[in-house]
């Protein structure tokens, strides 16, 4: 099926076949533009425009370069920042790297600094006002641009695909490979179109859209594909919303997710520190206008959802596909016919301490986390603050934290006074970093604790040993903090504050 | 990189679908700046009854008696048998590092997450995709026979059971070539440095902004 849902292969004439051959998807175009060498065995050498690195997946790559006596091919294509290990309390951050209390984390952040200094790589260090989560600072600084190939040793690199770029995560050996050669050995993925038409209802956000998509296709549904998100819902979405969607392409199994370039993209990029300027800007915009799938371009798979069917989502289990609308109940494994899946559901219920048939709104929460590369941008903070305004975090909640994605997001939120609204309501306002999304720093769940989290993974132990994660949107997380349990944000905001 | 040609080893079960990389190697161990030493923390949260800490000696930790890798019959296992979508989640190469360090040379599953699959090849581990039916058969045979060992031949692209069943698997030619010969793919790519430079020259003319330097 083509992008407009037209049949393209059955009973078409030769003319149409020719047209189909020349009509390319956005992914096809990005691939073609970066092809250095196509090999007979099906593999290819792909050029990488931007390489973003952080402290967790780079030290062994630098060590590899040193051992082989190699230097980065294009050192000025790399941007580094520490994000996974950094503390988010202002007190611990005050004395920079040396102030990190966890000695193992300190060594890792220090190692990134040392490696960047040694190789001459630009790094936004721990207390630089531009520091932040890799996938937030890329687009925000303009280091990530439409039409680029962007990699990082982190699976949520797909976030950058929102710009109309080909962006995906790589392993540490590939981090070393890209540093040494500016290329990746890759095989072309298949094309998938996920199309959502219509207009999202009040209180339904980009996070609910991507969770609903993952709930539909499963965590392996996109394996082997590059996903393009198309349709009115994505056209109407802000860049921040598109980033949330592309961010979680990997939770649907796809390494890369992307959205075609439109005026929203171009307006977002304009004026960013690394965005092209002057004559280059005009040339770039002209080139970027072509970063859309051609009419009649062929997708190997098309998935369609309608905005009317998407409600605020909450995950109940230990895989992002284990998700239901907030008014639903915890599913019953005995209704599942696939034995492997049924066992997985039973194990998930056991780990989560839930019972089949229990209403999602009856799950009492211990902590709330608003942040992560999925939902820590200014729009997310605004959404949380809008719900929090004039309300109070429930006394049963041990901790409700808001962790901005970058120093820039933090500064903008403070300029708008959002931090005051959140603090007044009883939320903590933290320094930027990955924080409780994966709990590599001090921000973590205790065993058995339930958390409403705007992050991307609800795996066992992800947010802390024995911790129980429920994935939600920022508005739903804020509403849950106020209520002490899950609640439809639309019902909460319908009542006067 | 370690080459992989043929390998025969005891199979051990990780009998669940969607085994994620957080499960393979929990995040606290990613703080290491080394490539080695992750084996003792492979499947840490399932294998031990307490919460593991980085740099901790593991010999005195309480083992989970219900976790198969702790069973005497799977001691020395080098082939991991598991269910679909193995290795989903993060891009951490620490996952194959942990498997390799523990002693696994091959993982057999009906499907794999892509980044994990790719990372295996960089570390001398052969991920093998077989149909769900075949994997189910291997599980049943493994559970029924202690010491159940599988013979893997990468050149021939086959897995042979002790009973003599031979199952063929698919693999990319380039990956097979690199793994068979233990090749360093950075070295291979650098043989094409001229092609990379020629690409840069072409591209720079069309899209010069892509080559603007990241400045401090």
Q: What is the pLDDT of residues B49-63, one digit of tens each?
A: 999 999 899 999 999
pLDDT of the residue at A284? 98
Say yes or no for a CB contact (<8 Å) between B192 and A36. Answer: yes
d(CA B195, CA B203): 12
In the block, tokens 């996070």 appear at A207
Q: How confident is the model at residue A18 (pLDDT cuts 50, 70, 90)?
A: very low
Strands of A54-135, DSSP E: 78-80, 122-123
Coil, helix or strand at residue A182: coil
d(CA B170, CA B179): 14
pLDDT digits (tens, 9 = 90+) for A210-250: 999 999 999 999 999 999 999 999 999 999 999 999 999 99
Calculate mean pLDDT across residues B144-159.
98
Calculate mean pLDDT across residues B63-69.
98
Instruction: Select from A37, A220, A341 the Cβ nearest to the Cβ of B195.
Output: A37
Q: Does A344 touch chain B (CB under 8 A)?
A: yes
- Is pLDDT above 90 for A80? yes
DSSP letter, residue A309: G
Contact A79, A50 (CB under 8 A): yes
Q: Does B115 touch chain A (CB under 8 A)?
A: yes
- Is pLDDT above 90 for A381? yes
Positive or negative, the CA dihedral A419, A423, A427, A428 is positive
Positive or negative, the CA dihedral A245, B18, B160, B70 is positive
- Is pLDDT above 50 for A275? yes
- Is pLDDT above 50 for A7? no
pLDDT of the residue at A55? 98
pLDDT of the residue at A493? 81
Calculate mean pLDDT across residues B141-154.
98
**Minimum CA–CA partner of B51 in chain A:** A465
Q: Does A257 touch chain B (CB under 8 A)?
A: no
Report the share of chain B in percent with pLDDT over 90. Answer: 96
φ, ψ of residue B88 to 5 degrees: the values are: -70, 160
d(CA B164, CA B150): 10
Q: Does A313 touch chain B (CB under 8 A)?
A: no
DSSP letter, residue A331: P
Q: Does B213 touch chain A (CB under 8 A)?
A: yes
From chain B residues 54-83, the ones with a CB under 8 A of any chain A CB are 54-55, 83
Say yes or no for a CB contact (<8 Å) between B210 and A122. Answer: no
**B171-183 as b/e: b if 16+ CB within 10 A:** beebbbebbeeee
Strands of A211-284, DSSP E: 225-230, 256-258
Q: Does A38 touch chain B (CB under 8 A)?
A: no
Task: Please give the order of strands across the beta sheet that includes B126-129.
Answer: B126-129, B106-109, B79-82, B6-14, B149-153, B158-160, B166-168
Calculate mean pLDDT across residues B81-101.
97
Question: Cα B196 from chain centroid?
Answer: 30
Say yes or no for a CB contact (<8 Å) between B89 and A174. Answer: no
Say yes or no for a CB contact (<8 Å) between A122 and B186. Answer: no
Q: Does A455 touch chain B (CB under 8 A)?
A: no
Q: Does A117 touch chain B (CB under 8 A)?
A: no
Coil, helix or strand at residue B145: coil
Helical axes A474-483 vs A378-388, angle rounded to 10° = 30
Pairing label, strands B158-160, B166-168: antiparallel
Rg over CA atoms, chain A: 22
Coil, helix or strand at residue A230: strand
What is the DSSP code string of B170-206? ---HHHHHHHHHT--HHHHHHTTHHHHHHHHHHHHHH
Contact A370, A474 (CB under 8 A): yes
Contact A121, A78 (CB under 8 A): yes
- Residue predicted with more confidence, A312 or B185: A312
pLDDT of the residue at A21? 60
C-alpha separations of A250 from A230, A337, A345, B17, B188 in Å? 17, 26, 21, 17, 29
Calculate mean pLDDT across residues A324-330.
98
Q: How confident is the model at residue A16 (pLDDT cuts 50, 70, 90)?
A: very low
**Minimum CA–CA partner of A281 in chain B:** B209
What does the block give as tokens for A57?
């997946």
- Is pLDDT above 70 for A169? yes
Contact A87, A93 (CB under 8 A): yes
d(CA B213, CA A77): 6
Q: Sort out which chain A residues have CB atoms less than 8 A from B186's CB and list them.
A: 68, 70, 176-177, 180-181
Q: How confident is the model at residue A41 (pLDDT cuts 50, 70, 90)?
A: confident
Say yes or no for a CB contact (<8 Å) between B195 and A143. Answer: no
Q: Sort out which chain A residues have CB atoms less than 8 A from B122's CB and list them.
A: 171, 173-174
Residue B58's nearest CA partner among B68, B70, B66 is B70
Q: Does B34 touch chain A (CB under 8 A)?
A: yes
Say yes or no for a CB contact (<8 Å) between B118 and A171. Answer: yes
Q: Which residues contact A81 (CB under 8 A, 6 or more apart)?
A: A52, A54, A123, A124, A125, A128, A130, A131, A132, A134, A137
From chain A residues 318-337, the ones with a CB under 8 A of any chain B CB are 319
pLDDT of the residue at A100? 97
φ, ψ of residue A278 to 5 degrees: the values are: 60, -130
Report the share of chain A in percent with pLDDT over 90. Answer: 94
Q: Does A63 touch chain B (CB under 8 A)?
A: yes
Q: How confident is the model at residue A152 (pLDDT cuts 50, 70, 90)?
A: very high
What does the block give as tokens for A118?
């040694």
d(CA B192, CA B187): 9
d(CA B106, CA B126): 5
Size of interface A-B (CB pairs under 8 A): 202
Say yes or no for a CB contact (<8 Å) between B214 and A274. Answer: yes
Q: Does A440 touch chain B (CB under 8 A)?
A: yes
Contact A443, A86 (CB under 8 A): no
From chain B residues 178-207, the ones with a CB under 8 A of any chain A CB are 185-186, 189-190, 192-193, 195-196, 199-200, 203, 206-207
Q: How confident is the model at residue A13 (pLDDT cuts 50, 70, 90)?
A: very low
Q: What domains sit in chain B, N to C, each tagged with a CATH number?
A: 11-142 (3.20.19.10), 192-216 (no CATH)
Say yes or no for a CB contact (<8 Å) between B210 and A148. Answer: yes
Pairing label, strands A367-370, A399-402: parallel
d(CA A117, CA A285): 34
Length of chain A equals 497
Dihedral angle of Cα A15, A16, A17, A18, to the nearest 10 degrees:
60
Q: Which residues contact A110 (CB under 8 A, 6 or more apart)?
A: A97
C-alpha separations of A271 from A117, A276, A299, B133 in Å? 28, 8, 34, 56
d(CA A123, CA A132): 11
pLDDT digits (tens, 9 = 90+) for A466-475: 999 999 999 9
- Residue predicted with more confidence, A1 or A473: A473
pLDDT of the residue at A42? 86
pLDDT of the residue at B215? 87
Q: Sort out which chain A residues have CB atoms less than 8 A from B51's CB and list them.
A: 465-466
Instruction: Select from B31, B32, B214 the Cβ nearest to the Cβ of A122.
Output: B214
Say yes or no for a CB contact (<8 Å) between A180 and B186. Answer: yes
pLDDT digits (tens, 9 = 90+) for A171-191: 999 999 999 999 999 999 999
A224 burial level (CB within 10 Å; 0-12, 13-18, 19+): middle
In the block, tokens 């693999």 appear at B171
Q: How confident is the model at residue A5 (pLDDT cuts 50, 70, 90)?
A: very low
Say yes or no for a CB contact (<8 Å) between B173 and A41. Answer: yes
- Is pLDDT above 90 for A304? yes
Task: Please give the order of strands across the beta sheet that includes A190-197.
Answer: A256-258, A225-230, A190-197, A301-306
Alpha helices for A295-406 (secondary structure H): 339-352, 378-388
d(CA A114, CA A55): 11
Contact A481, A393 (CB under 8 A): yes
Question: Which residue, among B23, B46, B47, B90, would best test binding to A if mutated, counting the most A CBs under 10 Å from its CB?
Answer: B90
pLDDT of the residue at A73? 98
Q: Sort out which chain B residues have CB atoms less than 8 A from A143's CB and list them.
A: 214
Residue A204's nearest CA partner among A327, A368, A362, A288 is A327
Q: Sort out which chain B residues have CB atoms less than 8 A from A147's CB and list them.
A: 207, 210
What's the mean pLDDT when you consider all of chain A? Answer: 95
Distance from CA of B73 to the nearest CA of A (A): 24
Angle CA A87–A274–A154, to nearest 5 = 45
């Amino acid at each position: 099926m083509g992008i407009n849902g037209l049949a393209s292969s059955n009973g078409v004439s030769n003319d149409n076949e020719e047209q189909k051959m020349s009509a390319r998807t956005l992914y096809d175009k990005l691939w073609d533009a970066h092809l250095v060498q196509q090999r007979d065995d099906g593999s290819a050498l792909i050029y990488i425009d931007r390489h973003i690195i952080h402290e967790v997946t780079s030290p062994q790559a630098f060590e590899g370069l040193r051992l082989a006596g190699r230097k980065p091919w294009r050192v000025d294509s790399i941007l580094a920042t520490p994000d996974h290990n950094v503390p988010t309390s202002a007190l611990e951050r005050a004395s920079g790297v040396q102030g990190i209390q966890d000695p193992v984390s300190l060594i890792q952040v220090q190692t990134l600094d040392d490696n960047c200094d040694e190789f001459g790589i630009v790094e936004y260090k721990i207390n630089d006002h531009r520091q932040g989560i890799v996938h937030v600072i890329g687009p925000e600084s303009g280091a990530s641009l439409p039409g680029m190939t962007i990699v990082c040793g982190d699976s949520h690199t797909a976030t950058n695909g929102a710009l109309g770029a080909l962006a995906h995560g790589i392993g540490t050996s590939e981090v070393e490979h890209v540093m040494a050669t500016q290329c990746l050995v890759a095989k072309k993925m298949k094309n998938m179109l996920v199309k959502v038409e219509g207009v999202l209802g009040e209180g339904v956000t980009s996070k609910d859209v991507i969770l609903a998509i993952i709930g539909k296709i499963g965590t392996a549904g996109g394996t082997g594909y590059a996903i393009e998100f198309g349709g009115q819902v994505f056209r109407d979405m802000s860049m921040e919303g598109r980033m949330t969607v592309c961010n979680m392409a990997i939770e649907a199994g796809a390494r890369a997710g992307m959205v075609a370039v439109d005026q929203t993209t171009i307006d977002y990029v304009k004026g960013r520190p690394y965005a092209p300027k002057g004559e280059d800007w005009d040339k770039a915009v002209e080139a970027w206008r072509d970063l859309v799938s051609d009419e009649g371009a062929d997708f190997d798979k098309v998935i369609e959802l309608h905005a009317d069917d998407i409600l605020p989502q909450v995950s109940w289990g230990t895989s992002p596909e284990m998700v239901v609308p907030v008014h639903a109940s915890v599913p019953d494994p005995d209704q599942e016919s696939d034995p492997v899946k049924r066992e997985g559901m039973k194990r998930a219920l056991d780990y989560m301490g839930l019972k089949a048939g229990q209403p999602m709104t009856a799950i009492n929460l211990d902590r709330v986390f608003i942040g992560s590369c999925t939902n820590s941008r200014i729009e997310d903070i605004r959404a949380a603050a809008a719900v929090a305004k004039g309300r109070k975090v429930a006394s049963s909640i041990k901790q409700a934290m808001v962790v901005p994605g970058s120093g820039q997001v933090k500064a903008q939120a403070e300029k708008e006074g959002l931090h005051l609204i959140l603090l007044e309501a009883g939320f903590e306002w933290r320094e930027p970093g990955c924080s409780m999304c994966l709990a590599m720093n001090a921000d973590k769940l205790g065993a058995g604790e339930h958390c409403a989290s705007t992050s991307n993974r609800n795996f066992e132990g992800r947010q802390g040993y024995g911790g129980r994660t429920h994935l939600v949107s920022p508005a739903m997380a804020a509403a849950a903090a106020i209520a002490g349990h899950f609640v439809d944000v639309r019902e909460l905001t319908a009542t006067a504050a | 990189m370690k080459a992989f040609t043929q390998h025969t080893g005891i199979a051990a079960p990780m009998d669940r679908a969607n085994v994620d990389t957080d499960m393979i190697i929990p995040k606290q161990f990613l703080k290491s700046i080394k490539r080695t030493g992750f084996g003792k923390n492979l499947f840490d949260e399932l294998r031990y009854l307490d919460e593991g800490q980085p740099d901790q000696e593991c010999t005195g930790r309480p083992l989970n008696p219900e976790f198969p890798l702790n069973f005497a019959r799977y001691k020395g296992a080098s082939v991991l048998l598991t269910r679909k979508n193995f290795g989903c989640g993060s891009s951490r190469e620490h996952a194959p590092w942990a498997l390799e360090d523990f002693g696994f040379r091959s993982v057999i599953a009906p499907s794999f997450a892509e980044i994990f699959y790719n990372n295996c090849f960089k570390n001398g581990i052969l991920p093998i995709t077989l149909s769900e039916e075949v994997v189910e058969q291997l599980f049943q045979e493994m559970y029924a026979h202690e010491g159940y060992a599988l013979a893997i031949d990468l050149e021939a692209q086959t897995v042979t059971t002790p009973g003599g069943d031979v199952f063929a698997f698919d693999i990319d030619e380039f990956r097979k070539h690199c793994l068979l010969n233990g090749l360093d793919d950075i070295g291979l790519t650098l043989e094409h440095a001229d092609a990379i430079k020629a690409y840069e020259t072409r591209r720079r003319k069309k899209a010069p902004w892509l080559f603007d330097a990241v400045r401090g």
